[in-house]
Amino acid sequence: MNAPLEDSLTPQIRVEDDRTGLSITTLRSALADNLFYIQGKFPGTATKNDYYMALAYTVRDRLLQRWLNTTQTYRKNVKVVCYLSAEFLIGPQLVNNLINLGIYAKIRQAVEESGLSLQELIEQEEEPGLGNGGLGRLAACYLDSLSTLEIPAIGYGIRYEFGIFDQEIRDGWQVEITDKWLQYGNPWEIARPEEYVEVKFGGRSEHYYDEKGNYRVRWIPDRVVKGVPYDTPILGYQVNTANTLRLWKAEAIESFDFQAFNIGDYYGAVDAKIVSENLTKILYPNDEVIQGKELRLQQQYFFVSCALQDMIRLLLSTEVSLETFHQQFAVQLNDTHPAIGVAELMRLLVDEHRIDWDKAWHITQNTFAFTNHTLLPEALEKWPIELFGRLLPRHLEIIYEINQRFLDRVRMKYPRDLGKLSRLSLIDESGERYVRMANLACVGSHAINGVAELHTELLKKTVLKDFYEFFPEKFANVTNGVTPRRWMVLSNPRLTRLITEKIGDRWITHLDDLRKLETLADDASFRQQWRQIKQETKGDLAAYIRKKLDIIVDPKSLFDIQVKRIHEYKRQHLNVLHVITFYNRLKHDRDLDITPRTFIFGGKAAPGYFMAKLIIKLIVSVANIVNNDPDVRDRMKVVFIPDFNVTLGQRIYPAADLSEQISTAGKEASGTGNMKFALNGALTIGTLDGANVEIREEVGAENFFLFGLTTEEVYGLKARGYRPFDYYNQNAELKAVIDLISSGFFSHGDVDLFKPLIDNLLYRDDYMLLADYQSYIDTQEKVSQAYRDRENWTRMSILNVARMGKFSSDRSIREYAQKIWKVEPVPVELLQLCPGGQ
């Protein structure tokens, strides 16, 4: 890949030593040094991975000065955003750091002069798969924007030893492979074992009177685990700010081990170590039944407790009073996973630092803010009381106390409304008793937000209705965004160069500048260049598909792409219904003048989510038939690209003509893939769901392919009694498609294989595929027609990109900073240079 942009450097780093110097000669010598002294290899015996590591350390050295100066700057009483998230899907770091440092071209030259290929080294990097999908990737985009906007921030999370599984497809089925991302070491992280904290579990609480006669509670745990932080510097784009992503690893407390060891219980001692370290071993996949997963609750409490203790330590080290905690830190809860933080901060303040309850509650509420990411009721976390009390006995007491005080207020406002009381309660008592984490987050936060306008409105009307009525002032919307650095500059260097040539490079940090492209949409030679770039990028993806999957696809065909986690609400199977419709039409009329298409899918299914796995099997089965049918050759291909992750996303989004955003209206909170596609010039076929609504508003209805029921229509149809079978019966083309699947045509005659999926569609169809089928098919036809007019299609593509300014994560972060966190940028000066420096 050519450099997306010319190198540019802030002037401060010019010292020509091996660790900071930026001349080609110094970079080459640093690379050789690191190979020898860090990897312990002569060039003759070094593997590609050794070279990658040497290069990564060469780049990391150049980050450190900025990172250490950033940390130093924040010691001076500035308000820091702490983003608490169980997932951070940060993606590969090397290229991103090269771009943000502005040294891509230099490094490439230094690497090439050493006889290596930069591209090959880049491909060595194992991406940290510390997230499932949208939520974790959003957190990563936000870290990028926080640093770029020079806002003091720390991301706190878990250093999972095994991230999200790697996906292989065998015989059409997904197979999960352990993700051993740490096996060759992680050059981007720095361990800080001396800053460990202790986290307690289990046991009981003890009530006592302190030396002044005040009533107090202390927690006597039966187990203590050590949390060790590992820091990754997150550099902003061409600024000095490098914020910290601090991920915690669980380790055994030695004294505990040795106690057992000393009494001769060697196995007991080792066992304690294993039990402790298990805590941060694996990332739980989405869509699994989580309620009884004790380890998951332990993980959540573990990282949140580590984070809050870390903040308190930071604060106390500056001699500022703990009572100003909420003025020093704005803590964002990324979904309910860290919501236990509300009870933990209360415990730390009241029990350990002896602040009285009311004051502690004021601090807590003013510290936390909560983002909800889903409307699916089954995804709202709740923990059985028994499990919760066994693991966190003191927190349960604190939650009861918070609840009692809160419900007293509810009773005052709504006397005799028992329904409201039971819905607002932090404890679900409708059957088995549970702690409701969303309720805890709502009560303990000063701000609550959804992630797209529609989503926030639906939150207020549905899952959080009672909270909205009780605390309307807490609710706000912050529509998601994506970072243009990774999702354009890094992944689409050709388009980046073209745009920059025309409008300068300010758009990279001020995405609204893309508007300047609007007038160019009418310039035929610009359109030609635009098309040419899309063509080349599609060619790259086609080459990848051929190499990996041995499938030949035509880069001139329309690339119709759906990549995202596999879920029934995201309706990959609706896309399949279209694929088969398309196929049937071709089969029935071999001369049909059709716009050739390549249908591309990618995404992981949760290991325990049978229906999602069956959808993958269906896609691959259809692909096998279609791709081997000479009747349709050259006119359609179907591809499932395995192991969709950030690295693959970087290849895929820029190569799309059509972006599939086809969830049932009212189900997708926002979506961010929809933004990445459109930013890279794909047109969207989508429902009025999540952020699609706002994308359409921005790019203009005429540049967006809308179909399907609205949220109200979905609710209305459900209320009237939805009968999917009637749609099947009354629509010959739909019936033919479904019958073809049922007949075993795609499954070597096996009529049972897809029966669960088909029965579900015919008799339940919770996500209303059949109701939306016709509208989807008709709109796909419009897409095909539109694609034939290449000039106009290119025009629409340019206009989409030109109008995507709103969807920069910089805009989202500015909104959080102003509306919710009340924080300001704090530019970093490189005051202290590295030891070898001036």
Q: Taking CB under 6 A as the criterion, which residues in 256-275 touch ligand GFP?
A: none
Beta carbon nearer to ligand GFP, 116 or 563? 563
Cβ 650 to ligand GFP shortest distance, Å: 17
Pick one of 668, 765, 772, 810: the residue that binds ligand GFP (CB under 6 A). Answer: 668
Which of the ranges 441-449, 576-584, 650-658, 666-674 carries the binding residues for ligand GFP, by CB under 6 A? Answer: 666-674
Q: Rank residues 462 and 731 by Cβ distance to ligand GFP and give the closer one.
A: 462
Catalytic residue selected from 326, 337, 373, 538:
373
Contact characters 292-321, ligand GFP, x per CB under 6 A: ------------------------------
| CB 347, min distance to ligand GFP, A | 29
CA distance 212 to 440: 32
CB of 681 to ligand GFP, least distance (A): 21
Least separation, in Å, of the C-beta of 644 and ligand GFP? 12
Closer CB to ligand GFP, 249 or 565, in the complex: 565
Calculate the dihedral angle through the C-alpha atoms of 183, 186, 191, 197, rounding to the nearest 10 degrees.
-60
Terminal alpha carbon distance of the chain: 35
Q: Where are the alpha helices (DSSP H) in 669-710?
A: 673-679, 692-699
Q: How many CA atoms lie within 13 A of 13 on its CB side?
A: 26
329 close to 80: Cβ distance less than 8 angstroms:
yes
Clarify whether 362 is annotated catalytic.
no
Note whether 480 binds ligand GFP by CB under 6 A.
yes
Secondary structure of residue 686 in the 3-state scheme: strand
Task: Output the smallest distance, CB 140 to ligand GFP, in A.
Answer: 11
CB nearer ligand GFP, residue 174 or residue 328: 174
Two structure tokens written together for 194: 């001396």
Tell the smallest beta-carbon distance from residue 815 to ligand GFP (Å). 14
CA dihedral sign, ordered 625, 627, 629, 635? positive
Residue 665 C-beta: closest distance to ligand GFP, Å: 13
| Least CB distance to ligand GFP at residue 296 (A) | 15
Measure the CA–CA gap between 100 and 384, rounded to whole angstroms: 46
Contact flag: residue 373 with ligand GFP (CB under 6 A):
yes
What number of chain residues touch ligand GFP (CB under 6 A)?
A: 16
Window contacting ligand GFP (CB under 6 A); options: 175-183, 250-258, 664-672, 766-774: 664-672
Residue closer to ligand GFP, measured from CB, 73 or 456: 456
- For ligand GFP, the closer of residues 638 and 820 by Cβ is 820
Q: Which of 62, 249, 494, 676 is catalytic?
A: 676
Contact 440, 399 (CB under 8 A): yes
Among 4, 133, 221, 603, binds ligand GFP (CB under 6 A): 133
Closer residue to ligand GFP (CB): 684 or 747: 684
Judged on CB neighbours under 10 Å (0-12, 13-18, 19+), 791 is exposed
Residue 529 and residue 535: Cα distance in Å, rounded? 10
Smallest separation (angstroms) from ligand GFP to the CB of 134: 3
Contact indicator for 584, 740 with CB cutoff of 8 Å: yes
By C-beta, is 480 or 645 nearer to ligand GFP?
A: 480
Radius of gyration of the chain (CA): 28
CA–CA separation, 515 and 312 (whole Å): 45
User: What are residue 399's phi and psi, to 5 degrees?
Assistant: -65, -40
Residues, the chain, total? 838
For residue 208, give the amino acid letter.
Answer: Y
73, 85, 132, 621: which one binds ligand GFP (CB under 6 A): 132
Q: The tokens of 761 are what?
A: 């569609």
- Contact predicate 530/681, CB 8 Å: yes
What is the distance, to the nearest Å, from the Cα of residue 830 to the centroid of all Cα atoms in its chain? Answer: 31
> Measured between alpha carbons, how far is residue 198 from residues 82, 193, 282, 302, 384 in Å?
20, 12, 20, 9, 25
460 binding ligand GFP? (CB under 6 A):
no
Query: Other CB atoms closer than 10 Å to residue 62's CB: what's the count?
Result: 23
413 part of the active site? no
Q: Which amino acid is at 810?
A: D
Q: Which member of 581, 598, 672, 779 is catalytic?
A: 672
If one asks whether residue 451 binds ligand GFP (CB under 6 A), the answer comes out as yes
Nearer to ligand GFP, 102 or 133 (CB): 133
Query: Is residue 757 part of the contact set for ligand GFP (CB under 6 A)?
Result: no
Q: Please report, as a single letter, which amino acid is at residue 316.
A: L
Q: Could you give the C-alpha distances from 323 to 312, 318, 377, 549, in angstroms and in order?
A: 11, 13, 37, 59
Residue 501 CB coordination number (10 Å): 10
Q: Does 86 bind ligand GFP (CB under 6 A)?
A: no
- The catalytic residue among 62, 226, 534, 564 is 564
Contact set for ligand GFP, span 175-204 (CB under 6 A):
none
Measured from each CB, the residue nearest to ligand GFP is 134
The residue (of 312 and 458) whose beta carbon lies closer to ligand GFP is 458
Q: Single out the segment in contact with ligand GFP by CB under 6 A; choices: 127-135, 533-541, 579-587, 755-763.
A: 127-135
Q: Tell which positions 542-601 bind ligand GFP, by CB under 6 A.
A: 565
Residues 388-427: x where in contact with ligand GFP by CB under 6 A, - otherwise, as a string:
----------------------------------------
Q: Using CA atoms, how far apart are residues 780 and 763, in angstroms rounded to an integer?
A: 26
Of the residues 91, 134, 341, 481, which one makes contact with ligand GFP according to CB under 6 A: 134
Give the nearest distance from C-beta 675 to ligand GFP in angstroms.
Answer: 9
Nearest Cα to 243, choosing from 175, 328, 136, 152? 152
If one asks whether residue 97 binds ligand GFP (CB under 6 A), the answer comes out as: no
Q: Which among 226, 455, 474, 565 is annotated as catalytic? A: 565
**Which range of residues in 6-14, 132-140, 580-588, 646-654 is near ligand GFP by CB under 6 A?**
132-140
Report whether 384 contacts 432 (CB < 8 A).
Answer: yes
* Residue placing its CB nearer to ligand GFP in the complex, 86 or 253: 86
The Cα–Cα gap between 398 and 619 comes to 49
The question of whether 676 is a catalytic residue gets the answer yes
- Give residues 669-728 in contact with ligand GFP (rule: CB under 6 A): 669-672, 690
427-428/434-436 β-pairing: antiparallel
Q: Which is nearer to ligand GFP, 65 or 374 (CB)?
A: 374
Q: Which is nearer to ligand GFP, 242 or 641 (CB)?
A: 641
Q: Is 570 a catalytic residue?
A: yes
Choosing from 374, 595, 680, 760, the residue that interacts with ligand GFP (CB under 6 A) is 374
Shortest separation between residue 450's beta carbon and ligand GFP, angstroms: 9
Sign of CA pseudo-dihedral 491, 494, 497, 500: negative
Verify binding: residue 438, ligand GFP, rule CB under 6 A: no
If 0-12 CB within 10 Å is exposed, 13-18 middle and 19+ buried, where does residue 585 land?
middle
Q: Does 479 bind ligand GFP (CB under 6 A)?
A: no
Q: Which two tokens stand for residue 441?
A: 């987050």
The interface region with ligand GFP, picked from 391-399, 417-425, 665-673, 794-802 by CB under 6 A, is: 665-673
Contact 43, 35 (CB under 8 A): yes
Query: Could you tell me which of 163, 185, 147 has the C-alpha nearest to residue 87?
Result: 163
Does 30 sit near ligand GFP (CB under 6 A)? Answer: no
**Three-class DSSP category at 532:** helix
Catalytic, 565? Answer yes
User: What is the DSSP code string of 729-740?
Assistant: HH-HHHHHHHHH
User: How many Å apart are CA 381 and CA 365, to the nearest integer?
Assistant: 20
Instruction: Summarize as ranges the residues that interact with ligand GFP (CB under 6 A).
Output: 132-135, 138, 373-374, 451, 480, 565, 668-672, 690
Known catalytic residues are: 373, 564-565, 570, 672, 676
